[in-house]
């Protein structure tokens, strides 16, 4: 039996699908209230639990041989900032501890490229890079840093945990609208009159799921496997979306100082009035000042992962937006 925490999420949905295609027995842990209608409920075992509740997590890991831990709050803003630490950091500790107590063969922990960002303009090889809390931007990144730090401490004591760090996943199935999807969808709807230039690495979400399976099978502990594909600037990504949708490109580029001010005001409005995730977040804007081009060749070559062209992922995403009635 394989346990997938966060199996109804963007990456999790694709991972569950690929595991089922490989005739694996899959148990999905999802928090109460999350939409699960898109999952093949007749083919999986579903556990409704919150990873912040360690006893529930312990029950979910019973009789499992492998655990893929994806469950997290992936947004760069939430009204109660403490939720990042309780979910992303402490929740991860609960999953790791429960899985190890149950004697699972291997665990895969899903980290993030956001904590690997740098002030340097070099493409960094990050497989064995170790970081400091002072390098982190915002509560989301700090929570993921603390989680990864705890995981590597467990690995040093012999825990069979594999770490993967996907870059920005794009494609179909992002029902909860992670930040890249919110921005892409806003552009496709003609709701993005201006943008803040930045650079990042993107990968088809299907390739992230495939990379996770390969890492679980063949990955080494103590190594961070970077699951990334193409380094691209935001203007280049918008150009791809524009060519696929005929949506005109934004006319203006926003200066960093203005974008940061807008983000602060947007978060204040979200904190005290709307309660809705703003399109521009303070963490998101601050990350644009970091260099987020990565060299993932070492990880890809070791795992034997060959990512699709990112334009294919863009087409998949757009077709899916239309199927959902979002465009």
Above pLDDT 90, what percent of the chain? 85
- pLDDT of 153 reads 96
When pLDDT is cut at 50, 70 and 90, the band that residue 188 belongs to is very high
> Cα separations (Å) of 279 from 75, 187, 191?
11, 11, 11
What's the sign of the alpha-carbon dihedral 184, 186, 189, 190?
Answer: negative
Q: Is the pLDDT of residue 189 over 90?
A: yes
- The predicted structure's pLDDT at residue 122: 56
pLDDT for 250 equals 94
Q: Are 294 and 167 in contact (CB under 8 A)?
A: yes
pLDDT at 124: 57
**89: Cβ–Cβ under 8 A, 6 or more apart, which residues?**
143, 144, 146, 147, 150
Percentage of the chain modeled with pLDDT above 70: 98
Q: Dig out the tokens for 160 from the structure.
A: 């069979």
Q: For the chain, where are the alpha helices, taking DSSP H only? A: 10-21, 54-60, 82-84, 91-101, 138-156, 179-188, 205-218, 234-245, 256-269, 282-287, 297-303, 310-323
Q: Widest CA span of the chain, in angstroms? A: 56
Beta strands 199-204 and 230-233: pairing type?
antiparallel
Q: Mean pLDDT across the stretch 63-81?
A: 94
CA distance from start to end of the chain: 39
Q: Note the Cα 151 to chain centre separation in Å.
A: 17
Higher-confidence residue: 130 or 43?
43
Confidence tier at 96 by pLDDT (50, 70, 90): very high
The predicted-structure confidence for 197-246, as pLDDT tens digits, reads as follows: 999 999 999 999 999 999 999 999 988 999 999 999 999 999 999 999 99
Q: Which two tokens stand for residue 318?
A: 């757009």
- What is the Cα 103 distance to its own chain's centre? 27
How far, CA to CA in Å, does 27 sit from each of 16, 90, 139? 9, 22, 30
> pLDDT (tens digit, 9 = 90+) per residue, 114-165?
998 766 545 556 777 777 888 899 999 999 999 999 999 999 999 999 999 9
- Across the range 171-191, mean pLDDT stands at 93
Average pLDDT, the chain: 93
For 86, the token pair is 């309780």
pLDDT tens-digit map of 247-301: 999 989 999 999 999 999 999 999 999 999 888 899 999 999 988 899 999 999 9
Beta-strand relationship, 199-204 and 45-48:
unpaired
CATH number of 2-170+202-231+292-309: 3.40.50.720
Name the token pair of 323.
């199927």
Alpha-carbon gap, residue 67 to 63, rounded angstroms? 11
């Amino acid at each position: 039996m394989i346990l997938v925490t966060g199996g109804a999420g963007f990456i999790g949905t694709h991972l569950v699908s690929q595991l089922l295609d490989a005739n694996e027995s899959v148990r999905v842990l999802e928090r109460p209230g999350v939409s699960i209608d898109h999952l093949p409920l007749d083919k999986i075992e579903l556990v409704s639990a919150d990873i912040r509740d360690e006893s529930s997590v312990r029950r979910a890991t019973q009789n499992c041989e492998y655990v893929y831990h994806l469950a997290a709050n992936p947004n760069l803003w939430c009204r109660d900032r403490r939720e990042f630490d309780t979910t992303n950091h402490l929740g991860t500790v609960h999953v790791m501890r429960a899985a190890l107590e149950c004697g699972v063969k291997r665990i895969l922990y899903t980290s993030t490229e956001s904590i690997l960002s740098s002030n340097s303009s070099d493409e960094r090889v990050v497989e064995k890079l170790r970081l400091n809390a002072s390098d982190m931007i915002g509560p989301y990144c700090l929570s993921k840093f603390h989680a990864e730090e705890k995981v590597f401490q467990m690995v040093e004591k012999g825990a069979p945990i594999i770490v993967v760090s996907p870059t920005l996943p794009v494609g179909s199935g992002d029902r909860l609208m992670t930040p890249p999807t919110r921005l892409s969808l806003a552009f496709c709807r003609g709701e993005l009159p201006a943008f803040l230039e930045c650079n990042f690495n993107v990968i088809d979400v299907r390739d992230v799921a495939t990379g996770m399976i390969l890492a679980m099978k063949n990955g080494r502990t103590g190594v961070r496997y970077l699951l990334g594909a193409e380094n691209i600037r935001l203007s280049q990504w918008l150009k791809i979306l524009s060519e696929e949708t005929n949506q005109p490109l934004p006319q203006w580029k926003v200066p960093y100082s203005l974008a940061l001010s807008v983000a602060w005001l947007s978060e204040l409005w979200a904190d005290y009035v709307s309660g809705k995730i703003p399109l521009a977040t303070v963490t998101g804007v601050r990350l644009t000042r970091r260099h987020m081009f990565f060299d993932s060749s070492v990880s890809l070559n070791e795992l034997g992962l060959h990512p699709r062209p990112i334009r294919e992922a863009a087409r998949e995403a757009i077709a899916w937006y239309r199927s959902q009635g979002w465009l």
